[in-house]
Structure 1
Amino acid sequence: MESYLFFGGNCEEALNFYKQSLGGEIVTLMRYEGSPMDTAQLAANWKQKVMHSTFECEGARFMASDTMPGQPAPDYSGFAMSLYVPGSDAEKARRAFNALAEGGKVTMPFTPPFWGGHFGMLTDRFGVPWMVSSEH
Structure 2
Amino acid sequence: MRAINPWINFNGNTEEAFTFYKSVFGGEFTKVIRFKDLSGPDFQVAEEEENKIMYIGLSLGKNNVLIANDVPGFMGPVNENENRSKIYVSAESTEEADKIFNGLSVGGEVEGPIGDSPWGTYAGMFRDKFGIEWIVEFDPEGV
TM-score, normalised via structure 1 length: 0.89
Moved beyond 6 Å, runs of 4+: none
Alignment equivalent of 1:10, drawn from 4, 8, 13: 13
Structure 1: how far apart are the matches of 2:36 and 2:18?
19
Higher helix share: 2
Q: Quick check: 1:20 aligned with 2:23?
A: yes
Q: Number of residues paired by the alignment?
A: 132
Alignment equivalent of 1:62, drawn from 62, 66, 86: 66
Question: Are the counterparts in 1 of residues 124 and 137 from structure 2 also a CA contact under 8 Å?
Answer: yes
Q: Which residue of 1 aligns with 2:128?
A: 124
Q: Unpaired runs of 5+ in structure 2?
A: none
Q: Quick check: 1:79 aligned with 2:82?
A: no
Q: Which residue of 2 aligns with 1:93?
A: 97
Q: Unpaired runs of 5+ in structure 1?
A: none
TM-superposed deviation, 1:44: 1.5
State percent identity of aligned pairs: 27
Q: Report the RMSD for the aligned CA atoms in angstroms.
A: 1.5
Structure 1: how far apart are the matches of 2:79 and 2:89?
20
Q: Deviations over 1:102-135 (max 9, x none)?
A: 0101000001101112100000000000000012
TM-score, normalised via structure 2 length: 0.85
SS class of match (2:100): helix
